[in-house]
Copies of this chain bind each other. A is one copy, B any other.
């Protein structure tokens, strides 16, 4: 097994299928299957997994067991367990469950923000500040991470184009209320590589070490093209979803996240170490099939197999 410590890794792949994937399918994966699946993902070398969302179970019944899932997942070694929280109440629950880190989405688009959380972006940032204050009140030895993501940063299904100046202005405001990092999310699969390069370059210039990762959807097949552009702009953290399951229930037409297996192949083929074992990753798809019978699972690498003689970056270094 490849060592999970960050010094042997060039890029962090943050697995979001147990949250972004599962929240977008109608059926609920049984809790015991979630436990096994998350353990398999960690066993494949994924160093960060977003395991659920502390939202109202009335809104997303698939996420009702998130507390239990987090409490089990944090027992795994060498993996950071994340949970999405939409507000302060969710953050309280997440911190109580022992999540290593919370991630809070803030919509760059006012219309998407109102529809998604019933707040303007500015109001959502005030709430973000409260979550940071709550984190600061916790005992120093167990301070969880707080990251935020700007959703619809590359376009909105309701508003269309989202001004890049708005995105950067909101990102700066989010960093100022005390989050550890601010990432950019192409929630609606509207981004293109030129835009990705521009926005992440500006984000890094404005936020420095607080500039976070990229969360791309593959709605229009541009996901990995956008990854190449983000890598050029210095991004080293990417969200992705095993089997490409997932999407945004409040962004009609937005299909799944970029596929973890295809992303890891891209990175390792380019010589960038992820610490992830592709064979074990592909094997973890079986648990999704079992836990979500009949659900569509995507991914080219799992279908085509690895190229003859393929040597991942991690093994090239070791050789």
A interface residues with partner B (beta carbon < 8 Å): 155-161, 188-190, 192-195, 218-222, 224-225, 227-229, 232, 253, 255, 259, 262, 265-266, 269-271, 299-301, 304-305, 307-310
Contacts and interface: CB of A to CB of B under 8 A. Distances in A.
A221 B270 contact: no
A194 B271 contact: yes
Given A193-B266, A193-B270, A194-B271, A307 B188 contact: yes
Contacts of A158: 308
B253 A305 contact: yes
Given A161-B309, A229-B228, A253-B304, A221 B259 contact: yes
Contacts of A225: 224-225, 227-228, 266
A194 B268 CA distance: 10
A80 to B, nearest CB: 26
A3 B167 CA distance: 36
17 contacts: A155-B309, A157-B307, A188-B307, A189-B307, A192-B269, A193-B228, A193-B270, A195-B269, A218-B300, A220-B265, A221-B259, A221-B265, A222-B266, A222-B300, A225-B266, A228-B228, A255-B300
A63 to B, nearest CB: 25
Contacts of A310: 160, 190
A304 B156 contact: no
Contacts of A307: 155, 157, 160, 188-190, 220
- A interface secondary structure, majority: loop
Contacts of A195: 269-270
A236 to B, nearest CB: 15
**Which 5 A-B pairs rank lowest in CB-CB distance, beginning with the nearest?**
A160-B309, A221-B300, A192-B269, A224-B225, A194-B270
B262 A222 contact: yes
Nearest to A218: B300
B220 A304 contact: yes
B301 A221 contact: yes
Given A221-B262, A300-B221, A308 B193 contact: no
A190 B309 CA distance: 10
Given A225-B225, A227-B225, A309-B161, A266 B304 contact: no
A158 to B, nearest CB: 7
A28 to B, nearest CB: 26
A93 to B, nearest CB: 34
Contact of A266 (B157, B159, B188, B192): B192
Contact of A299 (B193, B221, B232): B221
A304 to B, nearest CB: 5
Scoring A194, A259, A262 by chain B CB atoms within 10 A of each residue's CB, the highest score goes to A194
Scoring A229, A270, A301 by chain B CB atoms within 10 A of each residue's CB, the highest score goes to A270
Given A190-B307, A221-B265, 6 more contacts: A155-B309, A160-B310, A221-B299, A222-B224, A222-B269, A228-B229
A270 B195 CA distance: 7
A8 B150 CA distance: 36
